[in-house]
Amino acid sequence: MEQSFDVVVVGGGPVGLWLSCELRLAGVNVAVIERRTERTLQSRAGTMHSRTLEMFDLRGLVDRFLACGKPFPSWHYGMLETHLNFAALDSRFPQTLRIQQAATERLVAERAVELGIVFLTGHSAGTIWQDQSGVTVEGTTDQGPFRVKGRYLVGCDGARSLTRQQAGIAFPGHSATHTWLLGDVRLELPDDRPMLTEYNERGGVMIAPPGADGRRRVVLTTPEENNIAPATWEPTLDDMARTMRQVRGTDYNMRDPVWLSRFSNETRLAENYRRGRIFLAGDATHIHLPAAGQGLNVGLQDAFNLGWKLAAVIKGEADETLLDSYEAERRPVGEQLHENTMAQAVLMTAFTPGALGLRKMVSDCLAFPEVNEKLAGKISGFSVAYEDVGAMRAFSDAPCGTGVGIRVPNRRVRQADGSEVFVHELLSAGRWVHLSFGAGATVPLADALPEESVIRVSSSERPQRFFEGAAAVLIRPDGYSAGVV
């Protein structure tokens, strides 16, 4: 029997689950197809940056993630001596949060359950095709074949995405030239330093803070790892310990691994994020060296951008051309991600005396606050801004000038009755927010956007450092400005 939904999401990792949460919050009928029957317990991605924390705060969920992680006011870039200073960011979350992907996935899955999402585990997609009416998925389960159809389909199925392949979307980029070893292991360290890093002509090592079980994330590389093995070749504990001794002179009694892996600097970006009724998000669109912990963050923000747009089209609040703005807005972010991770790969794998001199020079440049702040903005996601590519025009007839398409700061707004509310609180239901700071001030809305989809708040005063000179601001469900007058 065929099951039908508004949207089918292929892949039940954090990105696919978060997209489904956004769709369901907007009242869309969505199903998630996932081949696994149990959630991953491996640490995998372990960094949550400031904009992702703000994203969860926009839905009233951030405290769940903060309770499971450890904040750091700074983080490395290319394992340079000078770290990025997130403490200077204008946010409630001027930090990076160390949180294992297993915890992130569990928390997003709990949210999905709360919203009543249909979650089809043990379903392996085999064939995906589309026609004018929708997209169909056929595959297998332990109980036999299945068939699911959606008006739209989103592939959140990882680097080897079946969705991308069957949609005929190219995945150009650069092959691997270097590999790294990774392991979640127990160590006996000489002191209580939360982070141990070293970079020299023998290679580099990074030991992340202890996890809940006392293990540490160890990342190792040496000059000999220049493409000597495919990333799919998993290292042994002996491989890890031997390389640690080569880099540090000791292996710190490395033992008791729960996960050993190898990764590379292979870098690819999907040629398109959309093909008809099929979309891609997360690792299905971009793979790269996991430098500075950006990949999962960008994937979650891909989903955040796409969710409200799909919902608006399905509910008749916008023309289907709005969906073109997903690629127009998010692919440039993927391009920037690839540029900075490739740059970090060079910094981390250049072991010659001249290359060590380059590392010192770049590290010295990061000591300048203006340079550090600019790069911290890119890594954190705070520098992302969207030009007028259709997403705003679909909902407002206001001129798209200064202040449109930028991240809305979470300021406290005094309402007409004297009570105060934060902007993020107003956006927690996933609806549009219209703020006016003068009598009769309004951002004109498109006819298709119903009033019940917009929360209107009037205030006698505009918060400080909030769209200076603006009389009214229209805010998209994902926390970016859509109209300013």
Determine the average pLDDT of the residues in 419-423.
95
Q: Which two tokens stand for residue 190?
A: 């000489």
Q: What is the pLDDT of residue 223?
A: 81
DSSP single-letter state for residue 86: G
Least confident of 19-33, 129-143, 195-209, 379-393: 195-209
d(CA 213, CA 186): 9
d(CA 197, CA 80): 9
Contact predicate 50/86, CB 8 Å: yes
Q: What is the pLDDT of residue 206?
A: 79
Higher pLDDT, 328 or 45: 328
Q: At residue 109, does pLDDT exceed 70?
A: yes
Give the DSSP H/E element, type plus range, for residue 269: strand 267-269
**What residues form DSSP beta bridges with 146?**
139
Q: Which two tokens stand for residue 226?
A: 């220049």
Determine the average pLDDT of the residues in 119-131.
96
Higher pLDDT, 400 or 480: 480
Q: Which two tokens stand for residue 194?
A: 């939360």
Round the average pLDDT of the chain to a whole number and report it: 91
d(CA 94, CA 380): 9
Residue 205 pLDDT level (bands cut at 50, 70, 90): confident
Contact predicate 121/128, CB 8 Å: no
In percent, the amount of the chain with pLDDT more than 90 equals 71
Higher pLDDT, 205 or 282: 282
Residue 228 pLDDT level (bands cut at 50, 70, 90): low
Least confident of 212-226, 294-308, 461-475: 212-226
Q: What is the pLDDT of residue 311?
A: 97
Summarised one tens digit per residue, pLDDT across range 328-368 is 999 999 999 999 999 999 998 877 888 889 999 999 999 99
Q: At residue 96, does pLDDT exceed 70?
A: yes
Q: At residue 398, does pLDDT exceed 80?
A: no
Higher pLDDT, 407 or 46: 407
d(CA 152, CA 133): 9
DSSP labels, 64-83: HHHTTSEEESEE-STT-SSP
Least confident of 154-168, 229-243, 256-270: 229-243
Radius of gyration for the chain, computed over Cα atoms and rounded to the nearest angstrom: 23
Contacts of 220 (CB under 8 A, 6+ apart): 180, 181, 182, 203, 204, 205, 240, 243, 244, 247
Specify the pTM. 0.94
Residue 201 pLDDT level (bands cut at 50, 70, 90): confident
Determine the average pLDDT of the residues in 45-68.
95
Give me the sign of the Cα torsion angle 335, 341, 344, 349. negative
Structural domains of the chain in order of their starting residue, each with its CATH number: 2-173+268-380 (3.50.50.60), 179-264 (3.30.70.2450), 412-484 (3.40.30.120)
Contact predicate 482/446, CB 8 Å: no
Contacts of 160 (CB under 8 A, 6+ apart): none
d(CA 362, CA 106): 38
Pairing assessment for the beta strands 70-72 and 96-98 based on DSSP bridges = antiparallel
| Of residues 203, 331, 179, 224, the one with CA closest to residue 269 | 331
Contact predicate 177/217, CB 8 Å: no
Phi-psi map region of 174: left, alpha, beta (phi>0 left; psi -120 to 50 alpha): beta
Determine the average pLDDT of the residues in 140-150.
96
Contact predicate 463/441, CB 8 Å: no
Q: What is the pLDDT of residue 221?
A: 87
Q: What is the pLDDT of residue 212?
A: 64
Q: Where are the alpha helices (DSSP H) in 81-213?
A: 101-115, 162-166
Residue for token pair 């747009």: 309
Q: At residue 230, does pLDDT exceed 70?
A: no
d(CA 44, CA 480): 30
Pairing assessment for the beta strands 74-75 and 124-131 based on DSSP bridges = unpaired
